[in-house]
Structure 1
């Protein structure tokens, strides 16, 4: 699970310039986070 969280954090930064910590800080809504995650490009697993 921790590996997935790190991969998600990296993907959000790489594709959108969004810091996942903004969700914890209350600067990013759960709805927006869900939309960004849902529309992340499919990437090959490393």
Structure 2
């Protein structure tokens, strides 16, 4: 997964996948380092 959103979110399908992944990563479980890195990258892509 890491690197999937490096080039940004380019359309509605990308945005939908990104928000689903964001929901999964923020569902209340403790994140490992890999998941934290994905979360930071994903947040940046969604905000951009």
Same fold (TM over 0.5): no
Give the TM-score normalised by structure 1. Answer: 0.35
Give the TM-score normalised by structure 2. Answer: 0.34
- Which has the bigger relative contact order, CA under 8 A and spacing at least 6? 2
